[in-house]
Amino acid sequence: MAKHFLSLADQSTQELRALLDLARMIKLNPSGYAQACKGQTLAMIFQKPSLRTRVSFQTGIYQLGGQGLYLGPTDIQLHRGETIADTAQVLSRFVDGIMARVFAHADVEGLAEHGSVPVINGLSDLLHPCQVLADLQTIEEKKGRLAGLKMAYVGDGNNMAHSLLYGGARMGMTVSISHPRGYAPDAEVTARATAIAAGTGGAVQVTEDPREGVADADVVYTDVWASMGQEDEHKERLARFEGFQVSADLMGCARPDAIFLHCLPAHRGEEVAAEVIDGPQSVVFDEAENRLHAQKAIMVRLMGR
């Protein structure tokens, strides 16, 4: 097992499989893991807001017998110029693991490089691997398998698109990304996911046509059009993303038994129609719940005694 959880590209298919199996076991029998991280402290650095990540990690580490320490943007000294390297070294003298939500992906890498305790990426501008572990758990619960399924992501080629590319490719899925011109996923991420998929029987497709992207999909996924830190671009993006809303009409291009996922928070009437996210194909709250179980699995694997 990799020492950190920064990117799904760094996890082998076997490691991901083991994490998903552990997450399922923890969900079935939470009390069996009540001592798994007994007496351990997880530092939780948040440079951006959060509902799901904050509450699921804080609750999750407590349920494993440990404690979480919320460190918001102005609680520590990063915003006053203390370096990531010093922060990592100091925290490593006090705590047993660090979860961090940051802007620059290099910051979670820096925490891992300079600290001596496991580091979990709770979202960076590049990746959101904890979310996708929970997504894979959700898809497997609903569909009974991952390999061979088509997962269609519609929207911005952002951190969610990137982690879905890596996670889906690792598990042998076909991942299609449809995006407006100018909002493609990072070319290096797409190339790396394509190479991963070549070894797992999966595939990667990138298109500017959402109907083509969603055609015959088993899973349809979207995310906000303006991510945290892009609030200034919101108005411009509303215009640029026209035609990329997951509407009932677009869902109709997918398989009739397709499920709809969204990492949340959602903006009804923008990236998704209310009738889709609140409709019978939506599994978004099971998906949100699985953040807890999936992240407990990550903590047991990285910090467990």
Give the interface with ligand NVA as residue ranges (CB under 6 A). 123, 128, 158-160, 223-224, 227-228, 263
**C-alpha to C-alpha distance for 237 and 232, rounded to whole angstroms:** 10
**C-alpha to C-alpha distance for 295 and 66, rounded to whole angstroms:** 14
H or E element: which one contains 141?
helix 129-143
| Binding-site size, ligand CP (CB under 6 A) | 8
Q: Is 52 part of the annotated catalytic residue set?
A: no
User: Pick from 7, 53, 87, 178: which binds ligand CP (CB under 6 A)?
Assistant: 53
The site partner of 251 among ligand NVA, ligand CP, none (C-beta below 5 to 8 Å per kind) is: none
Q: Is 54 part of the annotated catalytic residue set?
A: no
2, 275 Cβ separation under 8 angstroms:
no
255, 148 Cβ separation under 8 angstroms:
no
Given the complex with ligand NVA, which of 114 and 291 has the nearer CB atom?
291
Q: Which residue in 241, 182, 246, 175 sits closest to 211, CA to CA?
A: 246
Catalytic residue among 54, 135, 156, 263: 263
**Least distance to ligand NVA from the beta carbon of 229, Å?**
7
Calculate the dihedral angle through the C-alpha atoms of 213, 260, 202, 112, rounding to the nearest 10 degrees: 110
Q: Is 223 part of the annotated catalytic residue set?
A: yes
For residue 213, give both structure tokens: 């992207």
47, 78 Cβ separation under 8 angstroms:
yes
For residue 265, cis peptide bond before it (omega within 30 degrees of 0): yes
Catalytic residue among 54, 162, 179, 291: 291
Based on the shown chain and the rule CB under 6 A, indicate whether residue 263 belongs to the binding site for ligand CP.
yes
**Least distance to ligand CP from the beta carbon of 100, Å?**
13
Q: Is 93 part of the annotated catalytic residue set?
A: no
Based on the shown chain and the rule CB under 6 A, indicate whether residue 227 belongs to the binding site for ligand CP.
no
The values of phi and psi at residue 20, to 5°, are -65, -40
**Tokens 């992906």 sit on residue:** 105
**Tokens 């047993």 sit on residue:** 96
Q: Is 128 part of the annotated catalytic residue set?
A: yes
Given the complex with ligand CP, which of 92 and 295 has the nearer CB atom?
295
Based on the shown chain and the rule CB under 6 A, indicate whether residue 204 belongs to the binding site for ligand CP.
no
User: Pick from 41, 50, 124, 222: which binds ligand CP (CB under 6 A)?
Assistant: 50
**Least distance to ligand NVA from the beta carbon of 36, Å?**
26
Q: Identify residues 86-125 at the interface with ligand CP (CB under 6 A).
A: 123
Point out which residues bind ligand CP (CB under 6 A): 50-53, 123, 131, 263-264
User: Catalytic residues, which ones?
Assistant: 101, 128, 131, 223, 263, 291
